[in-house]
């Protein structure tokens, strides 16, 4: 009789533990949620200049080329006449600010060009210019 009671207590304890752990994993956003939302689409509408003078397949003008930007480094150009595609890889200098932020490059382009202060009186180069 004592073994049967012990078996029932083990089963009840296991059931309680099972439902506690199951309830914890069912909570939305508790496990595996990112710290902040990462967007996959471009944050702003950006129009790029078409690098192609004409379509390489049908020789259609660049005015009819449509762009499809992935939000980071690739712009796919689609011909409005024949539908052929060509891919342009953007350099760091050509990226819009939203893409630079997503790639972590925004700080590199915001650095001041020069640390010399030439706007102050005296030229800013350590030369004292007498006031006029």
Q: What is the pLDDT of residue 91?
A: 85
CA-CA distance, 47 to 45, in Å (whole number)? 7
Q: What is the pLDDT of residue 114?
A: 45
Domain locations in the chain as residue ranges: 43-110
Note the pTM of the prediction, 2 decimals.
0.47
Q: What is the pLDDT of residue 117?
A: 46
What are the residue ranges in the chain where pLDDT is below 70? Answer: 24-44, 106-132
CA-CA distance, 92 to 73, in Å (whole number)? 8
Q: Say whether domain 43-110 belongs to CATH 3.30.300.
A: no
Q: What is the pLDDT of residue 34?
A: 53
Q: What is the pLDDT of residue 115?
A: 46
SS (H, E, C) 48-87: CCCCCCECCCCCCEHHHEEEEECCCCEEEEEECCCCCEEE
Q: What is the pLDDT of residue 31?
A: 53
Structure tokens at 40: 């996959």
């Amino acid at each position: 009789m004592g073994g049967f009671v012990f078996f029932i207590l083990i089963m009840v304890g296991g059931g309680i533990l099972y439902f506690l752990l199951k309830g914890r994993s069912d909570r939305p956003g508790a496990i595996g949620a990112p710290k902040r939302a990462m967007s996959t689409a471009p944050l702003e509408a950006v129009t790029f200049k078409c690098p192609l003078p004409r379509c390489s397949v049908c020789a259609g003008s660049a005015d009819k080329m449509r762009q499809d930007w992935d939000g980071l480094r690739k712009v796919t150009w689609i011909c409005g006449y024949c539908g052929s595609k060509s891919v342009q890889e953007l350099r760091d200098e050509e990226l819009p600010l939203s893409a630079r932020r997503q790639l972590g490059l925004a700080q590199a382009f915001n650095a001041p060009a020069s640390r010399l202060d030439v706007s102050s009186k005296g030229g800013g180069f350590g030369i004292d210019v007498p006031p006029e």
